[in-house]
Structure formats: structure tokens, C-alpha cells
Amino acid sequence: MLASPETILGGLCLILVNLLLASTYRPEEDEDRETVKECVEGNRDAFNILVEKYYRRIYNLAYRFVGDQEEANDLAQDIFTAAYQNLKRFRGESKFSTWLFQIATNRGKNRFKYLKRRGYFANKGPSDGDEDREGLPRELPDSTSNPEDLLAGKEIQKIVQEAIDDLEPDHKEIVILRDIEGFSYEEIARMLNLPEGTTKSRLHRARMVVKEKLKKVLS
């Protein structure tokens, strides 16, 4: 038997707070500047350092868009290939991570639209073993060993992810970048070529859509 709706809603709040707290600090200085410079000068080993550093986050973002491990792996490789091929165009006006995630978000949204047009997501459930992969989905704080509460936590995670998956691409990308990846509004605005005010209002609308979906499921 699952926990009460009040317990589930309380757990949902913990998830959202946990996501937001994880994103409260990001250094402004680009720590990748020297490595990127070496890449541009032809050092391929330097680019491998960047791939190793960012692969998990890029893969997780890709998975958020396509919902399949194999597709996410292909998409992640495509993202890094595009980054390498366009590295000389990176002017350092933003951090390398911001520029990389701009590529990742564009490619992820385009792949999502492509797969959706082909009916790829129709009647497709979550991939086996997703709960064991690092970063997907994020876990609730383990404050109890009660099996019923733990089961409720997993149910919440599933419901939240399904609500995000149902968003329109323009809303989904902002929720992923802000509430999951933790980028600032300024960084997201740069990635998506949007005014910061538009970024905030679009995120607000996306959150409201998710909230309404959750209310219907949890009521």
C-alpha cells in the first residue's frame, strides 16, 4: 500500500527543493579555457579530457530528451562530434560548458522531434535498469527505511519524469536545463537565444503544466 497523498506531495516538494539547491552555485570563470585552447591548437588528447569530464551530464541530458539508453548514447556521441567539429567557432563569450550544452540542447530537441514524428515514443515504456543508472532519476533523501515510503518515493520519481516527458519541446528543454542541470537563467537564455525574461516566463509556464499533471495524478 502506498503512502497517503499528503506524504507523496511532501516527497515531491523534497525532490524539487533538492534539485534547486543543487544548482545554487556555479563559478563564473571558465575553468575549461586552457583545455579548450589546447584543443583548438590541435591537441586531441585535450578534447578527450573534456569528453571525460562532461560525458555523464551530456548523456543524462540526452536521455531526458529521448528516454532510451541506446538512443541517448548515440545522441551523446553526436553532440561531442558536433562540438569538436565546431570548436574553432567557440569565441569564449560564454563558458565552454554553456556552449556545449547549447549544442546538446539543440541536438536533443531536434532528435526528440524526429523520433516523435516517426512514432518512436508510442506505447514505449521506460527502459529497463534506468533506476540504477547514475543521475536518473534523482533520488529522494533516504530519511526512512519504511518499504512503503521507499516505494512511494519511486512512484513519485516516475510520475515527475512522465510529467516532464509530456511537455512540449520548448518547455521540456528549459525544465531540463534549469531544474535538472541547474544552469542559471542567464546561461539558459544564452543557450536558447532568448531574452532572460522570456526564459523565466517559459519556465514558469512549464512548471505550471507539470504541477497540473501531478495534481491530477496525485489527487
Along the 219 residues of the chain, how does pLDDT read in single tens digits?
Answer: 445 545 555 555 455 545 544 444 344 568 899 999 999 998 989 999 999 999 999 999 999 888 889 999 999 999 999 999 999 889 888 889 999 999 999 999 999 888 888 887 775 655 444 544 444 444 333 444 455 554 456 677 777 777 888 888 899 899 989 988 888 998 899 889 899 999 999 999 999 988 888 888 776
Peptide bond into 137 cis (omega under 30): yes
Answering whether pTM is above 0.85, one says: no
Distance separating alpha carbons of residues 85 and 16, to the nearest angstrom: 36
The full set of domain ranges for the chain reads: 5-23+31-218
What's the CATH class of domain 5-23+31-218?
Answer: mainly alpha
Assign 3-class secondary structure to the chain: CCCCHHHHHHHHHHHHHHHHHCCCCCCCCCCCHHHHHHHHCCCHHHHHHHHHHHHHHHHHHHHHHHCCHHHHHHHHHHHHHHHHHCHHHCCCCCCHHHHHHHHHHHHHHHHHHHHHHCCCCCCCCCCCCHHHCCCCCCCCCCCCCCHHHHHHHHHHHHHHHHHHHCCCHHHHHHHHHHHHCCCCHHHHHHHHCCCHHHHHHHHHHHHHHHHHHHHHHHC
- Residue 116: CA atoms inside 13 Å, Cβ hemisphere, count? 14
